[in-house]
Structure 1
């Protein structure tokens, strides 16, 4: 059996300050640091020696991966492809500023190449292609257990690539995952199906 644990970073400063994340390089709060330790402890019960650890290189995910790596004795592999969607000029701005300028995608029609009205922002298609390319690198590695530390938005794309959802099927796709969650993806050895075995597990945060 192959397993991938998709971890979303826990509470970061942009959350509590009401700022847009994206590539804005926020860090974990004190509470987030504690939550990262809880994530690491939960994974230590499930992950065997010989696993591999991959992470977005932004500070909040890097801190989360460092906590996991320290407890599991794993050295993170940093992948810029696992970063959150970039919101360009909107990154780090307060939510009110952002919402005055952001152009949400239409309910129908062109959603993947939609221009959100923010200079330098990725379209959903650009974002998806980037994350898919990162997951391709991860899947090509040999360890049967892998940990991916990423962001709430990008987690949807990691999961979508795992179930081999084509890019043109992503127009409305979204998997709801909370900060500090663990999602377990499995490939069985008989049918070789790609299963979302457990989505958005946060029980470790309150244990």
Structure 2
């Protein structure tokens, strides 16, 4: 049996100052650091005595969240660019208000791009898919993945065996600091036991 935990990075400065997250390198707030420490403590209790592989986005807010987990579990994080949040192009470094006022193409399908130099959700899906396949195939029995909200919503759909086009009509979004637990049984059946469980930060 394989257990996969996904962790959405905790509160970041861009959550409090009205700026776009995406590929900008925001750090965690003081509250975000406290939340990450709480997550690491609870994961330590759940995974005590078990070998763990830890993957993380290489963006600062995810790296800092993963750092608390890595220290508590005494593992070395593996940073992967595939786990970055969706690239929103020219609005990176701008405010959310600027984004809303300057959208070039409203997103109605997974192939739409908010800006000409941004990723569509299909682009994001295609970026993540090889990493997802490698995680599903590897022998490690306990895996933790630290990433971002939009990226993890795509991961959730992949885990359930949905096609990319399903994102046109459904979404499985979480919250900052939410922890999901996914099980793959020996017969291959996939189960989501927890989805964006916020009790890990409380």
Residue matched to 2:135? 138
Residue matched to 2:110? 112
Residue matched to 1:31? 31
Q: Which runs of 5+ in 2 are unaligned?
A: none
Q: Are the counterparts in 2 of residues 128 and 157 from structure 1 also a CA contact under 8 Å?
A: yes
**Aligned to 2:199, which of 196, 200, 203?**
203
Equivalent-residue separation in structure 2 for 1:34 and 1:184 (angstroms): 21
* Cα shift readout 1:56-109 (whole Å, capped 9, x = no counterpart): 000000011111000001111111001100101111211111100123223xxx
Residue matched to 1:97? 98
The 5 A counterparts of 1:77-88 are 77-88=78-89
Equivalent-residue separation in structure 2 for 1:142 and 1:33 (angstroms): 31
* Cα shift readout 1:108-166 (whole Å, capped 9, x = no counterpart): xxx121132x2420011101111222212222321111000000111111111112212
**Aligned to 1:174, which of 165, 171, 175?**
171
Residue matched to 2:52? 51
Q: Are the counterparts in 2 of residues 14 and 92 from structure 1 also a CA contact under 8 Å?
A: no
Residue matched to 1:193? 189
Q: If the length of structure 1 is used for normalisation, what is the TM-score?
A: 0.92
Equivalent-residue separation in structure 2 for 1:134 and 1:7 (angstroms): 16
- Aligned pair count reads 200
Residue matched to 2:119? 122
Helix, strand or coil at the partner of 2:168: coil
Equivalent-residue separation in structure 1 for 2:145 and 2:101 (angstroms): 34
Equivalent-residue separation in structure 2 for 1:115 and 1:151 (angstroms): 19
Residue matched to 1:63? 64
